[in-house]
Structure 1
Amino acid sequence: MTTTTRSSAKEHGNSAKDEAPPASKAKPGSKHKVEEGANSPEPKRPKKSDEKEQKTIEETIGGSEQAKQEKQAEQKEQQEERARDAEKEDGTEAKEEADTGDAEESREDAKDIPSSILEKGIIYFFFRGRVGIDEPSDVDEIARSYIILRPIAKDAKLGSGPIGDAGNSRVCVVPKKVLPKTGKDKWISFVEKTGASFNELKEEFLKSNDYETKTAGTRHSPAATPVAEGVYAITTTGKDSHLAYILTLPDKLGEVQKEIGLKEKGSFIISTRNPQYEAPQNARLPKGPEYPNEVLDEFRSLRWAPTQPSHLDYVNTQFLLVGESSGIDKALEPQKNDVKEGKNEPAEELEQLEEEDAQRMKDLNSDDSARIFADLQADAGDYPKLPTTF
């Protein structure tokens, strides 16, 4: 390729063989020596600024083309890098989706579901030790019990994997240390949290908490301890509503489960308190539920009404749990209209749901505690293990 110096020399009539002196010797204002046999003195070397202006068309086009190619190569590399990042993110999301799962699946015989089942889903039983007691050694060291309800669609069945977070979990508080066992046990309980995500359960319910008091200084509220997991149904028998359950975990009831008042299959009569009447003095809450008028109208003039699932979707709903020593037979009694229409029996529905739940929980882990916390998308290592003995 010709240089700008040679192009300049050619323009002055010099031979193409003539060479310009090195730039280091071409001092400003000095003349070049005339070589022997030369016809004319050699011209001054142009300044660097002139060199840029005197580039040939070939050089200009070549430089632009090279810059263009370099830019294209850089853009291609950036695109490939973005594609790799996107693929990595997709893989992470896919893994998270596989880990969190959604075990709810539609079923073909949805029309055969009995009308007496108002709601069904997964039920978890927890308790929390008294302040400063992380591992209670007997019932007296338990502060209170909890029931977590995670509803699923009435026409759904359970497939494999974790139940999945639908953001519809409820935390119900049983102020007593144990659950009601017979008809003589009547506990007023309340809804502490509704529409909860699993993350909210972890941050606001499951974990331990340290807090300051004016008189006793720092107090430690222990983490919630899992007691059992299973399936449930809120049913109606016409006159009453019932909360029936069948336990999946643990496989065999231990001392703790029996002391808490759990059975392999159990139920409670459940009624909602009308907030338009004053609550008993020992069961008053700072604030009542904010029911809309259509819910308030359901109570009519009754102080207590059969619980509807919608009642449990309001924080501070108070409900009465009455023990049923007869098990779940009464709660799952078939209704005449359902029998007439050939629908499935409520007991068969709940038992089938428990079988599906047992299979999916078995696949989650080999440890009962890890299974429960995996289902709630929490790390079992951060919480107490499911106890069977004190």
Structure 2
Amino acid sequence: MTTTRSGAKAESSPKKENGEAAGTKHQLNTKTTPVSKRSKKNDNKIQQTIEDTIPSPTEAYGNGNGENLSPANGKKKDEDRNQNGVKAGDEEEQNDSAEQEGARKDVPSNILEKGIIYVFIRGRVGIDEPSSVDDIRRSYIVLRPLAKDAKLGEGTIDDAGNTRLIAIPKKVFPVSGRDRWIAFVEKSHTSFKTLKDEFLSAEDYTTKTAGVRHTPAATPVAEGIYAITSTGRESHLAYMITLPEDLGEVQKEIGLKEKGSFIISTRNPQYEAPKGTALPQGPDYPKEVLDEFRALRWMGTQPKHLDYPNTQFLLIGESSGIQKATEPQKDQKEGQEKPIEELEKLEDEDTHRVEGLQGDDSAVIFADLHARAKDYPKLQTTF
């Protein structure tokens, strides 16, 4: 089942049904203003080498103590826009981008990266609309980084060719510190066109034993904002969900929250991969990145790690929400905005941005990705 949203944004601050202004969903601090075929070649290799069942936390995370071990080896009028929120007659071209660089000053230094996050699920072979978590083959995160000094204005996001596609083989997201499993970067420095051609679209292909098989299209389940933060030795991936406005059964079942975060740690590829998680090949890190690991098996994830396909990183759930991920650091300048304030402002801007786009939640998400919503599944909120 799908979810819908209101159409165009009113000129004044939009009101929700309960009378609250848009942006109050995440308790904004008001003191701060705010179909082509997919290629199966690489996908087959990955599916043959990484299982849905991820090893135990001990196997995945190692000893975690970093002991010295030697490695084993401008928007137009609504009438000019179609149902996808894109300029009429030209779905592939981008209007003025919502990303406005240079608008933020003194962004906290422990925010290493910020941007837009999209969450998708893909059903198992032959299952276009999953009716339970068991019907999901994998979940995916799409990260579209923004400039650190940027704010979000009106319109859709332009294609900067810096998008990343991250696969979650476990299907669901970790929700507590007991939940630890490995995700990996499937694509980096990717264009929206490549995402359409090689990820979003469905595919029918023929096998010798089973005949024609159908791999379903990716189904959107959420959109919002994110930040990669550092709190000393640890790195975190914090997020706030903008769409859907109210999380449904699907979002809750796969472990998403309105505001959530994960501890993220990158695996040192110079060590043997944990059992059952090996990929056909590792990330092609330059020497300077490899040297930063020293003898550690894992280190706090840096945004640059995610710019290399086949990077594997550990996702550890945080039951406390985004509190720990957005703590101000001791070296923060007096009067400088707190990390949580930056995320709240960005989420409020994203809320106003999507309210100004035509169509339902699905149309907004696919307009951002420069795709036609009618070619893909609707945003799913219930099984």
Query: Does TM, scored on the shorter chain, surpass 0.5?
Result: yes
Q: Report SS of the residue matched to 2:172.
A: coil
Name the residue aligned to 2:165: 171
Is contact 2:92-2:371 (8 Å) kept?
Answer: no
Question: 1:68 aligns to what?
Answer: none
Structure 2 portions without partners, runs of 5+: 1-86
Counterpart contact for 2:175–2:318, Cα < 8 Å: yes
Query: What 5-or-longer segments of structure 1 have no aligned partner?
Result: 1-91
User: Paired residue for 1:382, among 371, 375, 382?
Assistant: 375
Match among 128, 149, 164 for residue 134 of structure 1? 128
Q: Tell me the C-alpha RMSD between the 2 structures.
A: 1.6
| SS, match of residue 178 in structure 2 | coil
Structure 2 residue aligned with 1:160: 154
Q: What is the Cα deviation at residue 95 of structure 1?
A: 6.5
Counterpart residue number, 1:254:
248
Q: SS of the counterpart of 2:251?
A: helix
The one-letter code matched in structure 1 to 2:340 is: A
SS at 1:252 equivalent: coil
Q: Please give the secondary structure, in 2, of the residue aligned with 1:331.
A: helix
1:267-318 deviations in Å (ceiling 9; x for gaps) = 0000000000000121000100000001001101000000000000000000
Output the CA distance in 1 between the equivalents of 2:138 and 2:277: 14
Q: Tell me which residue corresponds to 1:20.
A: none
* 1:208 counterpart residue number: 202
Which amino acid in 1 is paired with 2:251?
Q
Matches within 5 A, 1:1-390: 99-110=94-105, 112-338=106-332, 340-390=333-383
Shift of 1:337: 1.1
Aligned residues: 297
| SS at structure 1 position matched to 2:276 | helix
Q: Is the 8 A contact 1:100 1:377 kept in 2?
A: no
Encode CA deviations 1:99-125: one digit per residue, 9 max, x unaligned.
443111134442x21000000000000
Alignment partner of 1:171: what SS? Answer: strand
CA distance in 1, matches of 2:133, 2:377: 16
Contact between 2:227 and 2:239, CA under 8 Å: does it hold in 1? yes
User: Which amino acid in structure 1 is aligned with residue 370 of structure 2?
Assistant: Q
Following the alignment from structure 1 to structure 2, what is the Cα–Cα distance between the partners of residues 308 and 265?
21
Residues 1:236 and 1:182: Cα distance change in structure 2 (over 3 Å): same
- Whether the aligned pair in 2 keeps the contact of 1:269 and 1:323 (CA below 8 Å) is yes
Q: Which structure: greater helix fraction?
A: 1
Contact 2:104 2:150 in 1 (8 A): no
- CA shift in 2, pair 1:94/1:373, >3 Å: closer
1:316, 1:96 → 2: CA distance?
31
Give SS of 2:343's match: helix
SS at the partner of 2:252? helix
Q: List structure 1 segments (4+ residues) > 6 angstroms apart after TM superposition.
A: 92-98
Aligned amino acid, residue 143 of structure 1:
R
Rate the CA distance shift 1:384–1:94 in 2: closer, same or farther, 3 A. closer
Taking a change above 3 Å as real, the CA distance of residues 377 and 116 of structure 1, as seen in their structure-2 partners, is: same
Q: Is the CA contact 2:234–2:263 (under 8 Å) kept in the aligned structure 1?
A: yes
List per-residue Cα deviations over 1:119-172 (Å, max 9, x = no partner).
Answer: 000000000000000011111100010000000100000111001110100000
Deviation string 1:2-35 (CA, Å, 9 cap, x unpaired) is xxxxxxxxxxxxxxxxxxxxxxxxxxxxxxxxxx
Instruction: Give the TM-score, by structure 2 length.
Output: 0.75
SS at match of 1:262: coil
Please tell me whether the aligned partners of residues 240 and 306 of structure 1 are also in contact (alpha carbons under 8 angstroms): yes
Q: Distance in 1 between matches of 2:272 and 2:90?
A: 51
Q: What SS class does the counterpart of residue 377 from structure 2 fall into?
A: coil
Q: Which residue of 2 aligns with 1:11?
A: none
Normalized against structure 1, the TM-score is what? 0.74
Return the structure number with greater relative CO, CA threshold 8 A, min gap 6: 2
Amino acid at match of 1:168: N
3-state SS in 2 of match to 1:181:
coil
Please tell me whether Structure 1 or Structure 2 has the larger radius of gyration of its CA atoms. 1
Amino acid paired to 1:151:
P
State the shift of 1:94 in Å: 11
Q: CA deviation at 1:341?
A: 3.4
Residue deviations 1:300-343, cap 9 Å, x none? 100000000000000000000000010000000001111x4321
Distance of 1:162 and 1:93 partners within structure 2: 14
2:167–2:183 Cα contact (<8 Å) kept: yes
1:267–1:324 CA contact under 8 A, matched in 2: yes
Return the alpha-carbon distance in structure 1 between the equivalents of residues 109 and 193 of structure 2: 33
Deviations 1:28-63 (A, max 9, x none): xxxxxxxxxxxxxxxxxxxxxxxxxxxxxxxxxxxx
Cα distance, 1:286–1:108 mapped onto 2, change above 3 Å:
closer
Please name the residue that 1:35 is paired with.
Answer: none
